[in-house]
């Protein structure tokens, strides 16, 4: 029996005020004027034949409950994803019982008036819900909130609420079987993913049936809160704000929408204000029973100077508090507030001189902005276990790597409010996909209907966030049809194109355009944008580099060969896999698994031939680890996959950044790089730069450099060494020179040093600052050959370096002459700042890809995976919890390339 109490606190209007980001917490409490009775907490859970009966937390899921009760162990451990498959094939029932607190009785007593609504913020996924034995509704979409009117169904004592949840796997299979007219591929994921079939038939995180970076855990549960809302007159279903700029008179206005659920006709006043901008207005309100949408325009005081919201790296992220106050004549009130921000966003697709196709870039507040970032996947297979700390660590890590954008990828979940609040604060722009990925989808009436409700709710929930800069209908589904992933005959194709247009254009796009006029919408990613539209929404080649965005993967070609990359307008996906560190893997494995050819290594790899692809790419440039100590060899192999990944993504990203101003053979003007992928869903090999648990891979350290605001990029082109200065700055021009040094692999003293002339670097562009024939350079520098030397460079203005130090190798390190075991030793000291430790390294010879790993101590170094060209270097480790010099010393492993063979 649950003893519940009335509370007067609000819920989904998570208007969070983060003054001190260290004190971040989910949704601050707001009084909504309603009586809210939370039904969260301990429920009972049983499976279909009652062999399992246990206590389960709501919000939660079956797997979490079974684990917390000790019925199963960690589902991520070794092969447990297969061992626990039965959980998802069974049906489960959640039950709770509760008495009503006085507030509800009062409302119920008012005969003919008053309403009680049972609200499920999220059910995963297929359920039938009953209250006191009466079926009150069903659910079929985990991305929707469900409201059930239960007025008159409640008793004072012992109300029984039951949620029967059917196996999502069984449901998907049933729905696919019922779809008899034609197949809707793909049927099943590739066997290497060890997943379940027909996920496209269910509105659930598509990756929950397995992905090429994640396990199959088709969860069941009540993954978000449950509550009763009790009210006499009205309640507010949602509250949105849209900021609009009128360029004609340089003024801003805010459109406020309030969605009401009204019981009795009422009149009153709505007061809206932004106190800091001395802007306020009052409006008459007249409500009739039913669901009502009202909207009001607040004109921002024109004598106030509005501070704009800028993406990270381009200015401040100024947020203003907007307050709203509803007062009805009968005395009922509603109050809420939310942070609003002033910014405009445009997606520019226009003709470019001397290039076929169209541009594709974002203009924020009228300025072109290069999007730098990555792709975001679900933080956990069990979403109920995602904490605000996990999200904070990831978003902070993104910002520390100089990212200003993330794409919330369409195969996972619409993230929780906390995520978007933090992105608003951090200046991280969000490319928001709708949750459809790598598949075709059915278009039965009930499927379309539930999708329409999902899209409407999600747009209303997310559109007030300045961080969200674009909506996109799906992940890769235009490409799936256009490039025939599923062996669809030419004759059948129009049928699938029709379904595609029906779902993403006639329904999803239609809703988005109605609900939100303040940001662009794309039907897919990748897409050719307006060109895809011109071709009937499915372009002949959605990967066309002259239009829109592209996704590009190639594991076979040598990634050092930049000429192989498509010079795209916008790279929204590209990447290479690596393995996470041994300390991360050791949480889910035993020492007999620690071998690259173990069953465990094969089992965790969900991408066909992925482990071999990593080694083959690494082997092009590095000697593979061959220690006779098998655990050491395993550690070293993990290391070499991370070196390969960091180096490949760096070369590709630098190529895109330096292409921002170039047009070469008609291609270029690249204005965005979102590498695949930021985070991991579990401890396994993937394209991520941050491991499950928050530890940074080498790639993430490198991203901070290759995403620096001002960057020097060195390449070899037709026998010349070229050095470019890439600047993301908006206005200042710089006079810079490139400082170039040649080092031999065997000495700390440069073989020679050169400088370019002072060159003026374009703001928001890429400028060639140094060019010299490579063979002339080598001979000018005495004894250098391609195998014996490497080149370092950076940009310097007057005396100050203004770009990170960078380098290029003239041959593969596997052929480097003179590269010796560096014999790195270290000492650790307190750095004098709380939780900061100084690690001083000494080496006997130059070392490359110097990697520091402190196992489980959370935190990150200020520099890692670096080239060490001096005998002594000090790096700082910033810990995320209290630790000691002793703990760091005991856990620190240092590896450089020459140490692994």
Ligand X SMILES: *[C@@H]1O[C@H](CO)[C@@H](O)[C@H](O)[C@H]1NC(C)=O
- Residue of 530, 521, 566 lying closest to 548 (CA atoms): 530
What would the x/- binding string for ligand X be over residues 822 to 861, using CB under 6 A? -x-x----------------x-x-----------------
Out of 247, 628, 664, 731, the only residue in the binding site for ligand X (CB under 6 A) is 628
Q: From the CB of 627, what's the least distance to ligand X, in Å? A: 6
Applying the rule CB under 6 A, the residues between 59 and 88 that interact with ligand X are: 86
Q: Which residues contact 296 (CB under 8 A, 6 or more apart)?
A: 255, 256, 258, 270, 272, 281, 283
Q: Which residues contact 519 (CB under 8 A, 6 or more apart)?
A: 345, 463, 468, 469, 470, 471
Secondary structure E strands in 497-653? 521-522, 550-552, 571-574
Out of 47, 130, 598, 661, the only residue in the binding site for ligand X (CB under 6 A) is 47
Closer CB to ligand X, 815 or 823, in the complex:
823
Structural contact between residues 460 and 422, judged by C-beta atoms closer than 8 angstroms: no
- What is the rounded CA–CA span in Å between residue 500 and residue 491? 16
Closer CB to ligand X, 170 or 615, in the complex:
170
Closer CB to ligand X, 304 or 840, in the complex:
304
Closer CB to ligand X, 652 or 744, in the complex:
744
What would the x/- binding string for ligand X be over residues 140 to 169, using CB under 6 A? --------------------------xx--
3 state SS of 30: coil
Both structure tokens of 331: 């005395």
Closer CB to ligand X, 194 or 842, in the complex:
842
Give the interface segment with ligand X, choosing from 426-434, 594-602, 621-629, 728-736 (CB under 6 A). Answer: 621-629
Q: State the DSSP code for 101.
A: P
Give the interface segment with ligand X, choosing from 48-56, 100-108, 316-324, 516-524 (CB under 6 A). Answer: 48-56
- What is the rounded CA–CA span in Å between residue 121 and residue 416? 11
Contact call for residue 305 and ligand X (CB under 6 A): yes
Both structure tokens of 537: 């929404």
Both structure tokens of 47: 């499976």
Q: From the CB of 167, what's the least distance to ligand X, in Å? A: 6
Q: From the CB of 729, what's the least distance to ligand X, in Å? A: 22
Out of 21, 29, 55, 304, the only residue in the binding site for ligand X (CB under 6 A) is 304
Out of 286, 483, 783, 815, the only residue in the binding site for ligand X (CB under 6 A) is 783
Strand partners, 682: none
Closer CB to ligand X, 31 or 814, in the complex:
814
CA angle 757, 761, 762 (to 5 degrees): 155
Contact call for residue 788 and ligand X (CB under 6 A): no
Q: From the CB of 691, what's the least distance to ligand X, in Å? A: 28
Applying the rule CB under 6 A, the residues between 170 and 209 that interact with ligand X are: 170
Structural contact between residues 603 and 615, judged by C-beta atoms closer than 8 angstroms: no
| Position closest to ligand X via CB | 48
Structural contact between residues 34 and 229, judged by C-beta atoms closer than 8 angstroms: yes
Give the interface segment with ligand X, choosing from 75-83, 622-630, 709-717, 829-837 (CB under 6 A). Answer: 622-630
Contact call for residue 517 and ligand X (CB under 6 A): no
Task: Classify residue 315 by burial, with Cβ atoms within 10 Å: 0-12, 13-18, 19+.
Answer: middle
Applying the rule CB under 6 A, the residues between 484 and 503 that interact with ligand X are: 487, 489
Closer CB to ligand X, 267 or 821, in the complex:
821
Contact call for residue 749 and ligand X (CB under 6 A): no
- What is the rounded CA–CA span in Å between residue 195 and residue 256? 44
Structural contact between residues 270 and 258, judged by C-beta atoms closer than 8 angstroms: yes
Q: From the CB of 769, what's the least distance to ligand X, in Å? A: 9
- Residue of 179, 137, 131, 184 lying closest to 158 (CA atoms): 131
Strand partners, 866: 850
Q: From the CB of 91, what's the least distance to ligand X, in Å? A: 4
Closer CB to ligand X, 611 or 744, in the complex:
744
Q: How far is CA 769 from CA 252, 714, 723, in A?
A: 42, 10, 6
Q: From the CB of 901, what's the least distance to ligand X, in Å? A: 4
Q: Which residue carries 């009210």 as its tokens?
A: 231
Structural contact between residues 545 and 633, judged by C-beta atoms closer than 8 angstroms: no
Contact call for residue 250 and ligand X (CB under 6 A): no
- What is the rounded CA–CA span in Å between residue 199 and residue 202? 6
Q: Any idea which residues carry the catalytic annotation?
A: 476, 573
Out of 157, 248, 303, 718, the only residue in the binding site for ligand X (CB under 6 A) is 303
Rg for the chain (alpha carbons), in Å?
A: 29
SS3 content of the chain, % helix, strand, coil (to 5): 25, 35, 40
Structural contact between residues 472 and 347, judged by C-beta atoms closer than 8 angstroms: no
What would the x/- binding string for ligand X be over residues 418 to 457, using CB under 6 A? ----------------------------------------
Give the interface segment with ligand X, choosing from 178-186, 303-311, 408-416, 680-688 (CB under 6 A). Answer: 303-311
Closer CB to ligand X, 71 or 352, in the complex:
71
**Chain centroid, CA 17 distance in Å:** 22
Q: From the CB of 48, what's the least distance to ligand X, in Å? A: 3
- Residue of 815, 809, 774 lying closest to 647 (CA atoms): 809
Out of 233, 756, 788, 864, the only residue in the binding site for ligand X (CB under 6 A) is 756
Contact call for residue 355 and ligand X (CB under 6 A): no
3 state SS of 321: strand
Closer CB to ligand X, 162 or 688, in the complex:
162
Structural contact between residues 818 and 745, judged by C-beta atoms closer than 8 angstroms: yes
- What is the rounded CA–CA span in Å between residue 728 and residue 709? 5
Both structure tokens of 883: 């630790």
Count residues near ligand X (CB under 6 A).
Answer: 27
Closer CB to ligand X, 48 or 388, in the complex:
48
Applying the rule CB under 6 A, the residues between 83 and 142 that interact with ligand X are: 86, 90-91
Closer CB to ligand X, 6 or 722, in the complex:
722
Give the interface segment with ligand X, choosing from 298-306, 561-569, 673-681, 848-856 (CB under 6 A). Answer: 298-306
Q: Which residues contact 207 (CB under 8 A, 6 or more apart)?
A: 214, 377, 378, 411, 412, 437, 681
Q: From the CB of 88, what's the least distance to ligand X, in Å? A: 10
Q: From the CB of 127, what's the least distance to ligand X, in Å? A: 11
Contact call for residue 782 and ligand X (CB under 6 A): yes
Both structure tokens of 695: 């530890």
Q: Which residues contact 89 (CB under 8 A, 6 or more apart)?
A: 167, 169, 170
Closer CB to ligand X, 72 or 116, in the complex:
72
What count of residues does the chain have? 901
Q: From the CB of 404, what's the least distance to ligand X, in Å? A: 27
Q: From the CB of 66, what's the least distance to ligand X, in Å? A: 11
Cis peptide bond prior to 126, omega within 30° of 0: no
Q: State the DSSP code for 404.
A: -
Q: From the CB of 758, what's the least distance to ligand X, in Å? A: 9
3 state SS of 135: strand
Contact call for residue 623 and ligand X (CB under 6 A): yes
Give contact residues for ligand X (rule: CB under 6 A): 47-49, 51, 86, 90-91, 166-167, 170, 303-305, 487, 489, 623, 626, 628, 756-757, 782-783, 823, 825, 842, 844, 901
């Amino acid at each position: 029996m649950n003893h519940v109490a009335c509370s007067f606190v609000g819920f989904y209007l998570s208007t969070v005020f983060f003054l001190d980001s260290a004190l971040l917490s989910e949704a601050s409490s707001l009084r909504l004027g309603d009586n809210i009775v939370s039904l969260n907490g301990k429920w009972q859970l049983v499976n279909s034949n009652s062999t399992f009966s246990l206590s389960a937390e709501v919000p939660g899921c079956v797997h979490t409950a079974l684990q917390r009760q000790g019925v199963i162990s960690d589902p991520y451990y070794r092969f447990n994803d297969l061992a626990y498959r039965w959980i998802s094939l069974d049906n489960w029932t959640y039950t709770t019982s509760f008495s009503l607190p006085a507030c509800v009785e009062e409302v119920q007593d008012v005969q003919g008036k008053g309403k009680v609504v049972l609200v499920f913020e999220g059910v995963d996924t297929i359920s039938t819900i009953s209250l006191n034995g009466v079926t009150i509704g069903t659910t079929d979409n985990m991305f929707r909130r469900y409201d059930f009117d239960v007025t008159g169904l409640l008793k004072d004592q012992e109300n029984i609420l039951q949620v029967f949840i059917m196996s999502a796997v069984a449901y998907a299979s049933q729905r696919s079987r019922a779809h008899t007219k034609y197949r809707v591929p793909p049927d099943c994921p590739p066997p290497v993913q060890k997943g379940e079939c027909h996920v496209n038939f269910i509105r659930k995180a598509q990756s929950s049936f397995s992905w090429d970076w994640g396990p199959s855990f088709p969860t069941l549960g009540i993954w978000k809160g449950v509550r009763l809302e009790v009210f006499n007159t009205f309640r507010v279903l949602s509250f949105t704000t849209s900021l609009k700029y009128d360029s004609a008179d340089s003024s801003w206005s805010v459109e406020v929408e309030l969605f009401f659920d009204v019981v009795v006709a009422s009149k009153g006043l709505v007061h809206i204000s932004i106190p800091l901008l001395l802007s306020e207005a009052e409006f008459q309100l007249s409500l009739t029973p039913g669901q009502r949408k009202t909207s009001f325009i607040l004109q921002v005081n024109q004598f106030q100077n509005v501070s704009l919201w800028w993406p990270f790296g381009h200015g401040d992220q100024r947020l203003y508090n907007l307050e709203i106050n509803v007062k009805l004549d009968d005395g009922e009130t509603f109050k809420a507030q939310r942070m609003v921000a002033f910014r405009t966003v445009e997606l520019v697709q226009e003709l470019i001189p001397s290039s076929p196709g169209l541009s594709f870039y974002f203009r924020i507040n009228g300025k072109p902005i290069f999007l730098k970032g990555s792709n975001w996947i679900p933080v956990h297979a069990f979403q109920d276990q995602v904490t605000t700390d996990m999200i904070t660590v990831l978003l902070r890590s993104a910002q520390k790597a100089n990212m200003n954008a993330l794409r919330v990828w369409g195969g996972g979940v619409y993230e929780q409010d906390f995520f978007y609040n933090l992105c608003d604060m951090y200046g991280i722009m969000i490319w928001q996909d709708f949750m459809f990925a790598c598949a075709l989808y059915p278009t039965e009436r009930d499927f379309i209907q539930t999708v329409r409700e999902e899209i409407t709710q999600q747009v209303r929930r997310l559109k007030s966030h300045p961080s969200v800069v674009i909506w996109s209908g799906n992940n890769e589904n235009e490409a799936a049809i256009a490039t025939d992933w599923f062996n669809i005959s030419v004759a059948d194709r129009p049928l699938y194109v029709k379904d595609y247009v029906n779902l993403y254009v006639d329904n999803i796009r239609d809703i988005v355009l109605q609900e939100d006029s303040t940001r662009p919408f794309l039907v897919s990613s990748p897409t050719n944008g307006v060109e895809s539209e011109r071709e009937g929404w499915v372009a002949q080649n959605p990967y066309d580099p002259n239009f829109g965005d592209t996704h590009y993967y190639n594991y076979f070609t040598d990634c050092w060969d930049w000429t192989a990359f498509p010079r795209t307008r916008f790279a929204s996906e590209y990447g290479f896999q690596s393995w996470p560190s041994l300390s991360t893997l050791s949480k889910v494995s035993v020492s007999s698994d620690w071998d690259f050819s173990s069953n465990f290594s094969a089992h965790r790899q969900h991408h066909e031939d992925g482990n071999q692809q990593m080694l083959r790419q690494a082997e092009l440039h590095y000697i593979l680890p061959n220690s006779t100590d098998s655990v050491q060899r395993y550690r070293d192999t993990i290391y070499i996959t991370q070196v390969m990944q960091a180096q490949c993504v760096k070369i590709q990203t630098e190529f895109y950044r330096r292409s921002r101003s170039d047009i070469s053979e008609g291609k270029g003007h690249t204005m965005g790089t979102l590498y695949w992928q930021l985070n991991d869903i579990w401890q396994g090999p993937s394209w991520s730069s941050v491991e499950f648990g928050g530890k940074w891979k080498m790639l993430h350290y490198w991203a901070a450099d290759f995403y620096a605001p001002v960057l020097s990029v060195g390449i070899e082109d037709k026998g010349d060494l070229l050095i470019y200065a890439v600047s993301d700055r908006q206005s200042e021009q710089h006079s810079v020179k490139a400082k170039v040094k040649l080092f031999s692999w065997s000495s700390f003293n440069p073989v020679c040093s050169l400088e370019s002339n002072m060159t003026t670097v374009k703001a928001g562009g890429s400028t060639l600052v140094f060019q010299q024939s490579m063979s002339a350079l080598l001979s000018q520098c005495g004894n250098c050959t391609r195998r014996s030397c490497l080149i370092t460079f950076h940009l310097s203005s007057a005396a100050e370096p203004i770009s990170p130090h960078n380098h290029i190798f003239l041959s593969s390190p596997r052929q480097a002459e003179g590269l010796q075991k560096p014999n790195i030793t270290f000492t650790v000291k307190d750095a004098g700042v709380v939780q900061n430790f100084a690690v001083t390294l000494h080496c006997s010879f130059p070392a490359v890809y110097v990697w520091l790993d402190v196992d489980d101590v959370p935190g990150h170094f200020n520099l890692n995976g670096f080239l060490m060209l001096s005998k002594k270097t000090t790096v700082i480790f910033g810990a995320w919890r209290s630790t000691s010099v002793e703990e760091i010393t005991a856990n620190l492993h240092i590896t450089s390339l020459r140490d692994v063979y």
